[in-house]
Structure 1
């Protein structure tokens, strides 16, 4: 409910400021490089506002960043309360570590892959799915900012070999991300046998003051870990999964092989 109220506030303010400056939807669209139908869809809520639209609206209407700020509020409000502390840690982290034995980590997902994952909950409204996809893509902007965090992701080979039409696009995206100097992707080969990571996914964030925060997620919720003993255990688990993964060069070669030949 909180996120819906913020989204409606954005739409009201957008319509109000556009009207105060005497612009029709078509004229605003021309200045912002959008069609009049897109402007109408955003203002009526049938199309969610993304960051690019908010930035263009702020520029055209000279708001001083109002819509970008409101959009960030809406996206934060739309996240479960248990997830917000992790989002805060992820946003300011200098180093990030991700492991998932079954899925591609959210920070490295394409829109189509994220959409498919979010649709696991078949009772979730389509509008909520699209808002969550937009939020997930907004999270990924930390990867391309001026001073991005160092990211190390460990992915199980089984997650790469899912027989799904969207995996070719997702694999190409992973290879592209791995070409960035601050992103390191390692694959655990399927012949690795039993290892500590099979007990579940984990994420770790290291802030500029050197402190680590962990995040564990299950079917119902998630847990932020920042206590000394808990973090010591998670860091040891991380070393365990990293230790059975392939080097980056071999991991990229494996991803390219799966991409070109398909899951086998």
Structure 2
């Protein structure tokens, strides 16, 4: 029911914003490079709004990211119950810690990289992929708000050396994020050998009251950890993982070296 209300809101807002601009469907289509029939299909619900459409509509209608945010809202409503407590912890955190031995963490992913990751599940419908991409982009808005959290991300070098075509763009984005004073990117070099982080990814969030919440993922689901003993273990493992990684300057230099192998962007 909640999903239906959000979908209705998206359609109503598209009609409203178009009317405020004084355009018919054909004019909006011309300005967004979509056909009038596509605009009609989105407004009537026979076609779901995807992220490229939402992004272009926001740009043309100058909505300040309204449609991308609405897509994120729709995706948030679809999130499994085990993930929602982590989303709340992440949204209001003052400090965030991410480690992944195989992928770039979600908050630092480009839309194309996120899209490729979400397509790992080859049974996921394309409109759901786009909805989830939009949601991931919306989650990243905490990185650019007035008082953003401090973010420390540790990434294994192997995750950076994937030869996919999207990696050049992703590495350039990672370097751009690392320029922000509150985002710290560290890379575990390939010659680091075995370490506890190879057991799997972990994420940690510290709230304003000083409490930590952890999140662990596996192939089927995820687990939010907030008990004292569990958090003590995760914090200890984080310190080990962080200790294995290169300092920021050397990490950035390594990312630049890997990016250079993909040619100019």
TM-score (norm 2): 0.85
Shift of 1:165: 1.0
Shift of 1:81: 1.8
Q: How do 1:36-185 and structure 2 match up within 5 A?
A: 37=35, 39-40=39-40, 42-43=42-43, 44=45, 45-48=47-50, 50=54, 53=57, 71-185=71-185
Say whether the 8 Å CA contact 1:110–1:170 is kept in structure 2.
Answer: yes
Task: Provide the C-alpha distance between the structure 2 equivalents of 1:85 and 1:179, rounded to a whole number of angstroms.
Answer: 30
Shift of 1:228: 0.8
Task: Provide the C-alpha distance between the structure 2 equivalents of 1:158 and 1:198, rounded to a whole number of angstroms.
Answer: 12
Task: Provide the C-alpha distance between the structure 2 equivalents of 1:55 and 1:215, rounded to a whole number of angstroms.
Answer: 35
Unmatched 5+ residue regions in structure 1? none
Shift of 1:80: 1.9
Say whether the 8 Å CA contact 2:7–2:74 is kept in structure 1.
Answer: no
Shift of 1:25: 2.8
The alignment partner of 1:98 has SS state of strand
Task: Provide the C-alpha distance between the structure 1 equivalents of 2:261 and 2:19, rounded to a whole number of angstroms.
Answer: 57
Residue 6 of structure 1: aligned partner: 5
Unmatched 5+ residue regions in structure 2? none
The alignment partner of 2:117 has SS state of helix
Superposition RMSD on alpha carbons, in Å?
A: 3.0
Say whether the 8 Å CA contact 2:205–2:214 is kept in structure 1.
Answer: yes
How many pairs align? 256
TM-score (norm 1): 0.85
Task: Provide the C-alpha distance between the structure 1 equivalents of 2:227 and 2:11, rounded to a whole number of angstroms.
Answer: 43
